[in-house]
Amino acid sequence: MTRHRYTLTPIRTDADYRAALAQAAHYTEADPDPDSEEGAHFDALVTLIQTWEARHHPVLPPDPIEAIKFRMEQAGLTVKDLVPSIGQPNRVYEVLNRKRGLTLAMIRNLHRNLGIPAESLIGV
């Protein structure tokens, strides 16, 4: 690997962020040994980038209904599969079409029966 000396600096602007991404791309292509000086610099650079992204582009929790639909798609589930967690099919359709809100019992059942994170279901 060609040795490049980069100085770690705080990421304060979009330009700083783009420059950090360019440096990270170099390291990604070079695939430095994690125990090397370059690997340590890459690790620190990634931490700076992640901190910037968390502050300026936070990932919001999914919408509860979207979380249910995602699990359905992921596991190949149908409305019938949600009956034990939500209630009769008409109630499942009401929930999925946002005509009825989730109750605490439904949230607990969906979490327990389908493994959907409770945080996603309560919209924290």
pLDDT digits (tens, 9 = 90+) for 73-121: 999 999 999 999 999 999 999 999 999 999 999 999 999 999 999 988 9
Which has the closest alpha carbon to 81: 90, 94, 70, 92?
A: 92
The predicted model scores a pTM of 0.55
Q: Angle between the 64-75 and 89-96 helix axes, to the nearest 10 degrees?
A: 120
Where along the chain do its domains lie? 14-56, 64-122
Three-class secondary structure of residue 97 per DSSP: coil
pLDDT digits (tens, 9 = 90+) for 27-75: 888 888 888 888 888 999 999 999 999 999 887 777 999 999 999 999 9
122 contacts 107 by C-beta, under 8 angstroms: yes
CATH class of residue range 64-122: mainly alpha
68 contacts 100 by C-beta, under 8 angstroms: no
